[in-house]
Structures are given as structure tokens and as C-alpha cells.
Structure 1
Amino acid sequence: MNSTTNSPPRVNMNCSFESIDQIMKSLEMVIYIPVFVFGVFLNIAALVVFCSRLKKWTEASIYMTNLALMDLILLLQLPFKLHARDNKWPAHMITFCSFLESLYFMGMYGSIYTIACISIDRYIGLCHPLKAKWLRSKKKARIVCAGIWAFVVLASTPVYTFHETVQEDFRCFHGFSKKGWKTGLIICLEVFGFLLPALVLVTCSVQSIRALNKSHSANTVEKQSGTRIIYSNICAFLIPFTPSHVAIFLQYLVRSEHISDCEDTKKIALFVQLTMSLSNITSCLDAICYYFVVKEVRGTSRLIKRSLSRMKSSSASEN
């Protein structure tokens, strides 16, 4: 879904995208190289901390470990993407190309669902501290993460059908066939891949902020810190993923020939490639947020303990 230069819609056969490709060739170098270097370093460092430095596993550390792994999956395809920008690949590498393309979707949507699960876990801890004892557990967190992996692997399998059978050299990450732009597939991608997780994230975050503000167990500094962290998590989710999913929908309109004007198509092509490139920045944003999330979890744990103590004290005094 990264380019319209190959297999363009029939109405745009006379529309040249060479200028778009030249612009993106420079921009992708500027974006991908720093993102890959810093993203790999930060996420590996996070895994080292989670797996060897933490004294014990918690639900939050399990989810964050899963998020770091998803980010590394997303980063893995970037060097190949840069190579494919200027080089055609032999026909026998079509399956490997599809595998790399599937890594992009696995990493992106694995990150999206993991972040949504982190927001649900936070919501349960803050808004339902009594129920948290049986709603939250390390075993359940591992099961949820395993489910996310199974889902994104299964959901990425259609990518292997997005390229037509080729008999000559081809450009990987470019020229998806019409199979990649079916209406049902795009609707599922937009609704289940972005809109629903975003709704869950925003709803849980708003409720968590309300719970923080109403809490008698948290002081003003803890409330302000917790609120800032929640807002930063929302931004880290919406900023990379909202433009890219708007771009996917616009490109769908082009591929389905609802938009056929050459200049509009070229603008959309640039927007698609730019937003898809920038969406990889989520791997760095997530890594930077790990410190704040750990800090939040510690504060949340203290709040839960205080809330439970107050509830038990109130029950004892009433009896």
C-alpha cells in the first residue's frame, strides 16, 4: 500500500508519479535510518530491562514486553524497504517480499492492539480496584498477548495474495494488485484495525482520568502526573496511526476510481507514502514512553493499595 507507481488505476495510466517517487526517495532515507537505529536500540534496551532487570513480572511489564517485540517486528522490514526503493528483486523472491510486507502489518496492528490492552489494564486497575484482583493476572496478560500474536499473524496472511504472479524482476513494497484494495478488506482494516482500538483507548483513558481526579488516595502531584502520562499515550497512538489510516481510505478511493483527477491522485500518493513512512515512528515513541509507563504503573499500584485500604477501613468502621 506504499505506492501507486505500479499497477495504477486504469483512469490514471497517463498520470506520472516519478516526481512523487523522487521526493519520497530522499524523505524515506531521512525518516527510516534514524527510526531504525534509535528504534532498535531503544526497544532492545527495553527488553533487557523488562526481562532481566525487573525483580518480578507484572501485567504491565508483560504488555510492554509484547509492545517492544511488535515494534522490533515493525522495524525489521525497514532496511529491505530502503533497498527495494532503488532496486528490483528477482521473481523468485516474491514470497519473501510478501513476508516482509506482512511484517509491516503485523508490527503496526500488533502495536495498536497491545496499546489498547494496556489502556484497558490501566482502566481496570484505576476504576475497578476490587475487581482487578480477578480481572487482572500475569497469566491472563500472557494469554491476551498470545492472542494478539495469533490474530495479527492470521490477519496478515491475505498480504501473500496482494501481488500478481510475476515472471520478471519486480519492486517489493510496491504495486499491490486489486486484491489488496477490496472494499471488505479495507473496511475491516479501518474498523477493526484502527477505529475500534482507538475508541477503546480513548474511552478507557477518559475514564481513567476521571477516576484519578475523583480519587481521595492520590495527591495533586500524582493526579497531574498520571493525567499527563495518559494524554501522552493517547497522542503516541493517534498521531502516527490516524494519518496513515486516513491515507489508506483515500488510496482506496483512488484504486476504486472514485477519485480519478491526476493532480488529486498524485497528492494522495504523496500523502499515502509520507504517512506510511511516518507511522514507523511509533516504534520510537513507544520506547520513549516505557519509562513513563513504568512510573505510572508504580503510582497506580500505590493508588490501588490505598483505595483498597480505605475501602476495608470504611467497611470495618460500618460494622
Structure 2
Amino acid sequence: MEPSTSHQIHALSHNGTAANCSFQEVDRLMQYLELAIYLPIFLAGLILNIVALLVFCVFLRKWTESTIYMTNLALMDLLLLSLLPFKMHATNHLWPAELQNLCTVLESLYFVGIYGSIYVIMFIAVDRWVAICHPFRAKLLRSPRAAMGICLGVWVLVLAVICSTIYYFRRGGQTEFHCFHEFSSKGWKPVVIVPLQVFGFLLPAAVLVYCSANTIWALQQSAQRSSQSRACVKIIYSSLCAFLLPFTPSHLAIFLQFLVHQGVIQDCSSKASISLFIQTALCLSNITCCLDALCYYFIARETRSTTHAFRRSIQRRATFSTSEV
């Protein structure tokens, strides 16, 4: 049976009726393109995030604010990666109607992984900004316990929001369906898309850019530009890359598809281009699971260098005390 993919939903006009536009070429291309994108992301991301958890939890064993945030980010990425095999299967296979509830759970967890990652990356930037730009307040605001509480709050908040809105996306009364595709027209209403764009992307992006720019400026104005400050700048740039590169195109594509469903864009060729763009951008947004490895690498180096410096300091003190006796 020829799979009916998401062109059925992408072709919906403002009044909910199907427009006379063909998306067969787009869907045929995406059947192969999605697999070509997902497979390397799944394999590379799985290896990198498992290694990151081993480094943070086993080898470093130093629970600082940074390592707590990065451990939770790795868990978010692993959650996202664990769902990619289901997405790959759903690309070319219809699921029976009795798997509707399972599909809803999988879709919910997928969005939890995406928007949980967005907010964890945002709080990493906020934590750095407080530590560097407001060092006196940092003594009161920053602690491993506070970082753990923030990460727990992100998990609870994202789970609560996603689980309360996911029913908008799934159409009822289907016999066979494509999971992760064929979303209901209710999912493209302003009450869903506007908060998603504002609170899911624009607000975290604004906070991330503001905190990152101010932190980089403060480090560059510092009289003593040590190797640790240079490492911090690399962490900031890697966090910006891990956020902006995957999530900016995908949310721009969601906005354009929203305009299609609102009847603002009605040209068939434009709809086909937007259909290809949104599907490709959403596939590529999963590359954040690999880009986060940049943050893991610099965080691990910084933590390890800090630990070594602390040990050398203890050894020097011990040597000095022995020489006095």
C-alpha cells in the first residue's frame, strides 16, 4: 500500500478543506531523505550522549552547576534519540488504529525532548551570565542544589505543557495512520502555534542571545584573559550553535506552515516548497543531539582542568607545610 504521508495535512486550507495541490513528489523525496538524515544523527548522537553521561557521572564525579545542566541535557537528547527509530518506521509504514494512544505518548515524549533541550540550554546561558556578570549575586543564586531544582522544574513544566496540549495534534476516528504525521488542523490554530513560537522558541532564544552576548563582552573586557575564560567563551559559542542552528529553521518553517493553514499563503508551488522545508527542517533539528556534544567537550575540559588545578594547589600546600617542619 502506498503510504499517505503528511501532505494531506500540509494541503489543508483555512477552512479545513483540502486544496487542489499535489505533494506526491515532496513525500516521495522525504521518504528517502528522512532516513538519510535520521540514521547518522541517531548513531552519532547515541554514542556521543552515552559517552557524555559516562564522563560526567563516572569519570569526573564532580557535581557542579555546569555538569548538572549538561547531564540533564544529555538525558533530554537520549530521550529524543530513543524516539527516532519510531519516527523512521512511521515515515513509510501505517500504524493500526489501536496504537493511537501509544503514538500520542511517543509524540509527547518527542516534544518533551525538543523543548526540554531548548530550556536547559537557555538556563545554561543564564547560569553563566549570573556567574560572570554578577559574581556577588552568584554566591546566593548559584549552587548545585539550585541547578538540580531548575532542571527538575524544566522536566515537570515541559511534561505538563506538552501532555495538556498534545491532544490538539492527533485526529480521531482514524483506521490506519502515520504516527508523527497527519496532525489535526486543530494543532495549527493560533491558540497552539502562537504560544509555541513565543514561549517555545522566541523567548528562550532572546534570553540565550542576551545572556551570551553580555557574558562574552564581560570576558573580553576582563583584564586577565586566562585559559579558563577562553574555554568559557568556547562553551558559550557552542551553546549558541547547538540552539540556533537546529531550532531557528524549524520554527521558521512552523510559522510558514501556520500561514498556509490560516489561508495567508495559497499558491500551490509555495505550499509545496513550505511542505518540503518544514519536513526537512524538523528532521535536521534533531542534529542538536550531536551539536550538544560541543558543549559536553568544553564543559568536561573545564571541569577536569579545574579539578587538576585544585589538586595541584593541595599538593603545593602539603609540600610547603612539610618543608616548614
Q: TM-score, normalised by structure 1?
A: 0.88
Q: Are residues 1:86 and 2:80 paired?
A: no
- Residue matched to 1:314: none
Residues 15-53 of structure 1 show CA distances to partners (whole Å, capped at 9, x for unaligned) of: 111100111111111110111111111111111111111
Residue aligned with 1:5, SS: helix
Residues of 1 paired with 2:87 and 2:221: CA distance? 48
Match of 2:240 among 234, 238, 247: 234
2:196 pairs with one of 189, 198, 202: 189
Q: Check whether the contact 2:193–2:258 (CA below 8 A) recurs between aligned residues.
A: yes
What pairs up with 1:1-319 in 2 under 5 angstroms?
A: 3-6=6-9, 8-10=11-13, 12-157=18-163, 158-219=165-226, 222-296=228-302
Amino acid at match of 2:225: A
The answer to whether the 8 A contact 1:59-1:141 is kept is yes
**CA contact under 8 A between 1:71 and 1:283: conserved in structure 2?**
yes
**Gap change, CA 1:178 and 1:129, over 3 Å in 2:** same
Gaps of 5+ in 1: 303-319
Q: Output the CA distance in 2 between the equivalents of 1:152 and 1:300.
A: 33
| Separation in 2, partners of 1:3, 1:78 | 17
Distance 1:173 1:240, change over 3 A: same
Q: Cα gap change, 1:294/1:125 in structure 2, threshold over 3 Å: closer, same or farther?
A: farther
The alpha carbon displacement at 1:203 in A equals 0.7
Equivalenced residues, count: 301
The superposition leaves residues 100-156 of structure 1 with CA deviations (integer Å, 9 ceiling, x where unpaired) of 111221111100000000011111111122221111011111110011001110111
- CA RMSD in angstroms comes to 2.1
* Bigger Cα displacement from structure 2, 225-234 vs 175-184: 225-234
Q: Deviations over 1:53-98 (max 9, x none)?
A: 1232111111001000111111121111111111110101011111
Q: Percent identical across equivalent pairs?
A: 52
Asked if the contact 2:97–2:176 (Cα under 8 Å) also holds between the matched residues in 1, the reply is yes
CA shift, 1:294, in A, is 3.0
Judge conservation of contact 2:55–2:300 (CA < 8 Å) in 1: no
Give the CA deviation at 1:163: 1.4
Deviation at 1:226, TM superposition (A): 3.5
Is the partner of 1:9 in helix, strand or coil? Answer: coil
Superposition deviation, residue 214 in structure 1: 1.8
2-structure distance, mates of 1:212, 1:298: 21
Residue type of the partner of 2:215?
S
Gap regions ≥5 residues in structure 2? 309-325
Return the alpha-carbon distance in structure 2 between the equivalents of residues 159 and 267 of structure 1: 26
Query: SS of the counterpart of 2:150?
Result: helix
The CA deviation string for residues 217-238 of structure 1, in whole angstroms up to 9 with x for no partner, is 333x555443343223212210
| Secondary structure in 1 matching 2:176 | coil
Sort the Cα spacing of 1:16 and 1:122 in 2 relative to 1 into closer, same or farther, 3 A.
same
Q: Is the 8 A contact 2:253 2:278 kept in 1?
A: yes
Q: How far 1:295 sits from its partner (Å)?
A: 3.1
Deviates most, 189-198 or 3-12? 3-12
